């Protein structure tokens, strides 16, 4: 019998890739989007699934309990993947209350809806390495203590513990995926990797002079989003509900990713100076192509993330395949193609 799944946040990066994966497995998918003045389905259009006969697009807001109940009643789903969130760490400092309501309390609405409608529904919560924040151990695993450093991280930690609490209190098959940063050509341009690859493509094509960034020393464990959504699905197919880290176990600085991206575009750059005076220069032309802007610094920073995905490998058979160089190359090529064609999402 075909399965039915709900994916909240289908207009986001992970929602689009997960929908593609589940549809390819024969699922009927109810993908939720928010009513806004200009709903944007560019990601599912890029993947060519927007008109799939098994895909149903449903208007929904995570902060609304009654809407959550109706979503589960009307879809008849047996798996719910909660990917919806105010997911931008930088914005969470400016909008902490909205972030708490969506990213923290939102998942509780879905857990309550599951408890009310059908406690047999399997639930995936999109947790994050941002919960580790001020790092307490290297690498970070499922047993590393949490110390979130942003309103986003704090909100996600609440939802993580609620997921575990509903698992333990009501025997709900509720999983928490503690995913480290994962990127792709479908990544939003507000996040640093895509901001870099899109800007590098524009600089290469003469459409932009300088890329402005914040903290270049932050280290992240970056993987390929398409592989991470496979891990989400595997968590809900396991015999027991649990929490898992998905990561590559490699960490690089934002500066490294900048160098890698210019290299992928065939531009040789060199960094010089330090702190807010640091710049990168195109060696061939002598032009400054990267400079620091304090407006991209955060009030509190997560300095170093590197995850240990050993448990996911052992219990789920999940392993990342794509190297950071391959991922970066893929993103730069896609942004070159889009910018050459005269558009950029
Ligand atoms: P995106 O920001 O690309 O997508 C977030 C989605 O949530 C969008 O579809 C957005 O809709 C939707 N959304 C926001 N607010 C609401 C709301 N009130 N009600 C319903 N939907 C809402 O995130 P990603 O795809 O990158 O990430 C997916 C999830 O995984 C998020 O929860 C994120 O916090 C988490 N995560 C992501 C990681 C990453 O590296 N990508 C790592 C770890 C966790 P709209 O288009 O209308 O804004
Ligand atoms: P992050 O991703 O905060 O890790 O959250 P982001 O790409 O925004 O930042 C990564 C690091 O780069 C530094 N940085 C900049 N960041 C942005 N966005 N823009 C800049 O100009 C810039 N310059 C330097 C940041 O300070 C930071 O250290 C992402 C989101 O997807 C979350 O939802 C998810 O939970 C985590 O990854 C894991």
pLDDT score of 82 more than 70: yes
Mean of the pLDDT values across residues 34-40?
A: 90
Whether the bond into 148 is cis, omega within 30 of 0: no
- The active-site residue out of 130, 183, 227, 252 is 130
pLDDT score of 131 more than 80: yes
* Terminal Cα distance for the chain, rounded: 37
The Å distance, Cα 86 to ligand 1 centre, comes to 6
Compute the distance between CA of residue 51 and CA of residue 80 in angstroms, rounded to an integer. 21
Check if 130 is active-site: yes
345 band by pLDDT with thresholds 50, 70 and 90:
confident
Mean of the pLDDT values across residues 216-244?
A: 98
Compute the distance between CA of residue 85 and CA of residue 106 in angstroms, rounded to an integer. 8
Compute the distance between CA of residue 181 and CA of residue 223 in angstroms, rounded to an integer. 6
| Cβ–ligand 2 contact at 89 (below 6 Å) | yes
Which tokens sit at 65? Answer: 């309990």
The b-or-e profile of 153-185 (16+ CB within 10 A means b, else e) is bbbbbbbbebbbebbeeeebbbbbbbbbbbbbb
pLDDT score of 294 more than 90: yes
Residues in the chain: 345
State the Cα angle at 108 between 125 and 149, rounded to 5°: 65
- The confidence score (pLDDT) of residue 343 equals 81
pLDDT score of 231 more than 80: yes
For residue 146, give the DSSP letter: P
Sheet holding 243-246, edge to edge: 55-59, 28-33, 4-8, 79-82, 122-128, 174-179, 243-246
Per cent of the chain over pLDDT 70 is 100
pLDDT score of 239 more than 90: yes
Residue among 191, 193, 216 to mutate when testing ligand 2 (max atoms within 8 A of CB): 191
**Exposed/middle/buried for residue 24 (C-beta within 10 Å: 0-12, 13-18, 19+):** exposed
pLDDT tens digit sequence for 116-129: 999 999 999 999 99
Residue among 89, 200, 254 to mutate when testing ligand 2 (max atoms within 8 A of CB): 89
pLDDT score of 312 more than 80: yes
- The confidence score (pLDDT) of residue 229 equals 99
Mean of the pLDDT values across residues 263-277?
A: 96
Checking DSSP bridges between strand 223-224 and strand 79-82, what pairing results, if any?
unpaired
Domain positions in the chain are: 4-184+221-250+304-321, 192-217+253-302+328-340
Quick one: CA dihedral 176, 178, 182, 188, positive or negative?
A: positive
Mean of the pLDDT values across residues 84-111?
A: 98
Mean of the pLDDT values across residues 249-260?
A: 98
HSE, side-chain direction, 13 A CA sphere, residue 106: 28
pLDDT score of 85 more than 90: yes
Record the pTM. 0.98
Mean pLDDT score of the chain: 97
pLDDT score of 1 more than 70: no
Nearest-atom index, ligand 1, CA of 225? 41
- The active-site residue out of 30, 60, 152, 166 is 152
pLDDT tens digit sequence for 150-187: 999 999 999 999 999 999 999 999 999 999 999 999 99
| Cβ–ligand 2 contact at 144 (below 6 Å) | no
37 band by pLDDT with thresholds 50, 70 and 90:
confident
Cβ-Cβ contacts under 8 Å for 228 (sequence gap 6 or more): 14, 179, 182, 246, 320
Ligand nearest to the CA of 220: 2
pLDDT score of 133 more than 80: yes
Identify the CATH homologous superfamily for domain 4-184+221-250+304-321: NAD(P)-binding Rossmann-like Domain (3.40.50.720)
Q: What share of the chain is helix, strand, coil (3-state, %, to 5)?
A: 40, 20, 40
pLDDT score of 319 more than 80: yes
What would the CATH number be for the domain defined by 192-217+253-302+328-340? 3.90.25.10
pLDDT score of 32 more than 90: yes
Per cent of the chain over pLDDT 90 is 97
Strand partners, 175: 124
């Amino acid at each position: 019998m075909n399965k039915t799944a709900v994916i909240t946040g289908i207009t986001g990066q992970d929602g689009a890739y997960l929908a593609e994966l589940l549809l390819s497995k024969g699922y009927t998918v109810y993908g939720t989007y928010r009513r806004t003045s200009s709903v944007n389905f560019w990601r599912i259009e890029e993947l060519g699934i927007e008109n799939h006969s098994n895909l149903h697009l449903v208007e929904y807001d995570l902060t609304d309990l009654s809407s959550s109940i109706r979503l589960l009643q009307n879809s008849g789903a047996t798996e719910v993947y909660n990917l919806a969130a105010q997911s931008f760490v930088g914005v969470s400092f400016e909008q902490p209350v909205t972030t708490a309501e969506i990213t923290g309390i939102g998942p509780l609405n879905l857990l309550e809806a599951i408890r009310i409608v059908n406690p047999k529904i399997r639930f995936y919560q999109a947790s994050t390495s941002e919960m580790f924040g001020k790092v307490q151990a290297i690498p970070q695993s499922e047993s590393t203590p949490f110390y979130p450093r942003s309103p986003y991280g704090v909100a996600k930690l609440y939802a993580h513990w609620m997921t575990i609490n509903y698992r333990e209190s009501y025997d709900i098959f509720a999983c928490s995926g503690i995913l480290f940063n994962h990127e792709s050509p479908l990544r939003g341009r507000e996040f640093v990797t895509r901001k870099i690859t899109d800007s590098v493509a524009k600089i290469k094509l003469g459409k932009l002079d300088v890329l402005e960034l914040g903290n270049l020393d932050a280290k992240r464990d970056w993987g390929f989003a398409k592989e991470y959504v496979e891990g989400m699905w595997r968590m809900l197919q396991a015999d027991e509900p649990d929490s898992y880290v998905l990561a590559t176990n490699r960490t690089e600085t934002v500066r490294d990713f900048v160098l890698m991206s210019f290299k992928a575009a065939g531009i040789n750059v060199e960094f010089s100076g330090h702190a807010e005076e640091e710049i990168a220069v195109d060696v061939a032309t002598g032009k400054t192509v990267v400079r620091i802007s304090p407006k991209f610094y955060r009030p509190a920073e997560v300095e170093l993330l590197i995850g240990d995905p050993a448990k996911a490998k052992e219990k789920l058979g999940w392993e990342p395949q794509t190297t950071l160089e391959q991922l970066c190359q893929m993103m730069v090529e896609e942004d070159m193609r889009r910018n050459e064609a005269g558009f950029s999402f």
